Amino acid sequence: MQATESFDVSYENAILKGDFQPAASSQHILLLHGAGVSSRATASRSGLRPALQQRGIATTSFDCIGHGDTGGALSTSSLHSRTRQAEAVIAARKLVDPPAGPLVICGASMGAYNAIRLTQTQQVAGLILIVPGVYTPAAYDLPFGPLFSEVIRRHRSWAGSDAWEILRQFKGDLLVIAAERDAVIPLEIPERLVLSARQARSRRLRVVADTDHHHLFPLLAAERPAEFEELMTLLADCGRQH
């Protein structure tokens, strides 16, 4: 098995730290992490990246500004900046067709909203949204900090998100994975995301029973391996050329 390749991508005044984990097939997924203490290491600790590699699927991931090895002040970033950071990595790593084949993006929590936004500027064949958060456009350009938190914590601020309209234009494969006992993301959000994607080539919602926002994959990998393998198959099929 080939070794993981670390890389640096310049973005404004920062250096984004990331890595490419090769695998046996030409399939590839770009992973976008969430907020808080999340980083690209989260998908490895959860068992997601190793499981994908075992299935022959390569992955690319990077630490957004304020997270992981990239570091820096979170207050210098925003939702908009995170989307542009991902665009910088896609361009620098040549993750677009034809060099890398179909672009499949997997976003977790906050990263799911960035993944949705990327469908506006990239040809995305497969979109995988895990415990997905969505946000009001009023928060998009606000630096991460007290004002951002105030805006997104307003009652049902997410209901006015532009995510629904963006997904109405999406024509690739959509897979949404939700946790039944998610105390962070109301089930209405993943349900509405799937309903919005009217033009998608395929769309599927999987609500995983007795799991929460932070421990979905680790719990399945440890206690319900057959269900974990089923989810990995769904991820592997999303965006695959038929």
Q: Does the residue 118 lie in any domain?
A: yes
Tell me the CATH number at 120. Answer: 3.40.50.1820
Q: How long is the chain?
A: 242
How many domains is the chain built from? 1
Is residue 21 a contact partner of residue 29, using CB atoms and an 8 Å limit? no
Is residue 177 a contact partner of residue 128, using CB atoms and an 8 Å limit? yes
What is the value of pTM for the model shown?
0.96
Burial class (CB in 10 A: 0-12, 13-18, 19+), 7: middle
What average pLDDT values come out for the chain (242 residues) when binned by 10 residues? 89 97 91 97 94 94 98 97 98 80 94 98 96 98 98 97 98 98 97 98 97 94 95 94 63
Query: Beta-strand (E) ranges in the chain?
Result: 5-11, 14-21, 28-32, 58-62, 103-108, 124-130, 173-179, 202-208
pLDDT at 114: 98
Q: Does the residue 242 lie in any domain?
A: no
The range of the structural domain enclosing residue 42 comes to 5-237
